[in-house]
Structures are given as C-alpha cells and as structure tokens.
Amino acid sequence: MAHDTTENPNGPEDPLTDLLRRGARDLIQQAVEAELQTFMETYAEDRLPDGRRAVVRNGYQPERRVQTGIGDVPVQVPKTRDRSGGGRHFTSRLLPPYLRRARSVEELLPWLYLKGVSSGDFQEALSALLGDQAQGLPASTLGRLKQQWLTEHADWRERDLSDHRYSYWWADGIHFHLRGGDDDRACVLVIIGVLPDGIKEFVALDDGMRESEQSWYELLVRLRDQQGLPQGPRLAIGDGALGFWKALARVYPDTRRQRCWVHKTANVLNRLPKRSQPKAKSALQAIWMAETRADAEQAFDAFLTAYGDKYPKAADTLAKDREALLAFYDCPAAHWQSIRTTNPIESTFATVRLRTHKTRGCVTRNTVLSLTFKLGQSAQKRWRRLRGYEWLDKLERGVTFIDGVEQTDPTNDEASSVTDRSAA
C-alpha cells in the first residue's frame, strides 16, 4: 500500500496523530492480507482442468479513505478472480465495501494501542472500530497475524549491524507471567542502544531463561559474530543481574559498567527498616546528585558510616558496586540524567506489561516475544533523541571527561577553555 502523502489542509500535523494514523494504516494492511490468505487457502485445492488454481489474486481495489477521529486513513483491499466462473471473490470483513467512516477516536485508540495482543481483545477492539461486522473475523486470521509478527522478529534479529556504533547500552530482562506449563514466567532480554546521532533503537530483544549468563552470552555472541557488531558500547547501564555483566565481560571486555541507581536504591532500602528508609533514600540521592565525583565519594562514605554498623547488609549492598555506580562521572554531564538508570527500558515496558497483563493472552513464550517485539517497535517511534547528543562525537573520539566536563589540551592554540558544565 502506498504511503499517505496527502498534506493536511489545516496546517502542520501533530506528530502523534500522524504516528497513530500511519500505525492504523499498517495494521489494517496486515490484517486484511491475513484475511486474504485465509480465503485463498480455503480454495487452494480448487483447480482448472489444466491444473492451474481456480481462485487467484488480481491486484487491488482502488484506494479509499476511512474517516476516523484522527483523520483519514488510506486503505486498499486486495482483489481476487475466480477463473472457473464460479463467482467466488474475496470480501474483507474488516473493510467491507461500504465502510467509509469509523467510530470515535475514543474507541479507535484502544485498538491501535493494543495492536492485536490477544485473540479475544483484538476482536473486541476491531468491533469498537467497525461495529458488528468485525465479529466474524476467523481465529485463523488472528493466528496468522501473530505468526507474521514472529517471522518479522526472526528477520529483525538477523539484520546486519556492521555499520552501527553504539555509545551507550541499556540492558535488562523483562519478566512476564505465563498461563499453564511447567514454567509460568517468561523473560525477554532487552538491549536499547544510542547511535552517534542520539537516536535510540532496540539492539536486541530475545527470549531468555531467567536472565542467565548463558542466555545473555548467546545473545551478545550473536550480535558480535553473526550480526557484525565487533565493538561494544563505551558504557552499559543495567541492574544487578550478574548474568548480563559476566557475559558482557566475556564478549565485550572493554565496555565499562554503570549500575542503575533506581534498582540499587531499592535494593539498599529493602535491607533497612521502613522507619529508616526515607532518611536513607535522601542520603543515597545525595550521592548520585553530587556535582563532582569527589563530592559523591564523600556522600558515599557518609552513608557507609551512618548505616554500616547498625545495618551492615544495606551498607555492603551499596559498597560492592561503588565504581560501577559512579562511572557516569566520566561521561558528558548532559547525559547523566539518561545514563544513571535503566529508565529507557523501564518506561517502555511498563506499558507493554500493562497491555499484556490486561489482555491475559500471553499463553506461550512465542506469544510474549511477538507481542513485546511489536509493541516495542511502536514505542520506539516515540522515543526522543538523547539529551546532549552533540557530545557523543567527542566521547567516541576518546575525549576525556572529568565530572562531566570536557578536558581540553592547554597546549593546543586552537583549543577552547574547559567547557562549562552548564553548556553541556
């Protein structure tokens, strides 16, 4: 189907509205193609006397536009021809010929957002858009869509990354509950990277076994040896899952580690009584909010002194990752807000968890993986560039940063003075 290039007569379009309309167009196209495949398989054995298939594809009907609360969505339905003269032809239940107007945007958006995450709710959402005519969508059509998503994911995980270079990675394992089976939890291993132009994208999204070292190792080896990514990021940000860090050291030993402060704060507070947690949380915040590494080290020591004797487990939990918790001080200050935590993953998959839990349709690992992949791709379109991405080029060229400030060579006549942190 051709891209929608019609200009908005009311002026520049809201990017979110454009994203939603494009998402609607692409999903409608996928769903109609799945309907068509089901129709074609029904008559696959019907043959002419010379052995040719009786029912064949025959191009597309003229494009038409369906009016929705987010503007006109262009649609185009495939055509078929019955060469036997039997009059059999494909009619889409999703886009019947008379359909020209969808219901209100309040009913349309849930369908766009769910993206077909379960058979039951997918049909319910389509009904909200199209009315009772959507009730007849066969289950095989929905199953075909899910299989198509798995195929798309399989192709995506084999894409060539030889021309990619990532400055930062955020890595985490996202867990989902399954229904039935010996193992009622699934784990999806996720890596998000930032490119030299500040664009964030998924690097990997794979099924894993409880974030084990072996699962992470297999993923990273595939990135390096099969997808052409010989060099890891300068800094990887993650939680305390030892599997990732051990695998990273084996595959990309030059990559530095940054422990997520959100996870670490939660781990430390869990080892303190509730009455002590508010004050301890403020003391921990004083560490990662410090302007310089020296100030952070001082606040770090103050916490260990204050809680070490009475709550040694809490102090040990903090102390064991001291260097990894303060690695961000050697990066541009403009990036600190983004690289101190795994928030890019957490914020994205909070929505995914909500949708998969709401639909209660993730009954297999493959279903979890396909839905996570499709919803993650949708979320990726809304990501913003890394704040202060202009500094990535200097980071990649090996420029030294101390306390977030670029260190210039005083012997270079053309070098500017030390960059002020506020400019970063």
Q: What is the DSSP string of 13-51?
A: PPHHHHHHHHHHHHHHHHHHHHHHHHHHHHTTT-B-TTS
Residues 179 and 233 in one domain: yes
Total count of residues recorded for the chain: 424
Residues 226 and 354 in one domain: yes
% of the chain surpassing 70 pLDDT? 73
Residues 322 and 211 in one domain: no
Cβ(314)–Cβ(280) below 8 Å: yes
DSSP state of 11: S
Least confident of 13-17, 38-42, 169-173, 194-198: 13-17
Structural domain contains residue 79 = yes
Tens digit of each residue's pLDDT (9 = 90 or more) over 330-366? 999 999 999 999 988 888 777 555 555 544 544 577 7
Structural domain contains residue 404 = yes
pTM: 0.69
- pLDDT score of 406 more than 50: yes
- Cα angle: 10, vertex 14, 16; to 5 degrees: 145
Residues 241 and 101 in one domain: no
Residues 140 and 284 in one domain: no
DSSP-based three-state secondary structure for 286? helix
Number of domains in the chain: 3
Closest CA to 39 of 116, 140, 127, 128: 140
Residues 113 and 254 in one domain: no
Structural domain contains residue 271 = no
Residue 408, domain extent? 276-339+388-424
pLDDT at position 359 is 47
Least confident of 42-51, 100-109, 194-203, 390-399: 100-109
Structural domain contains residue 9 = no
Structural domain contains residue 316 = yes
Quote the tokens at residue 292.
């310089």
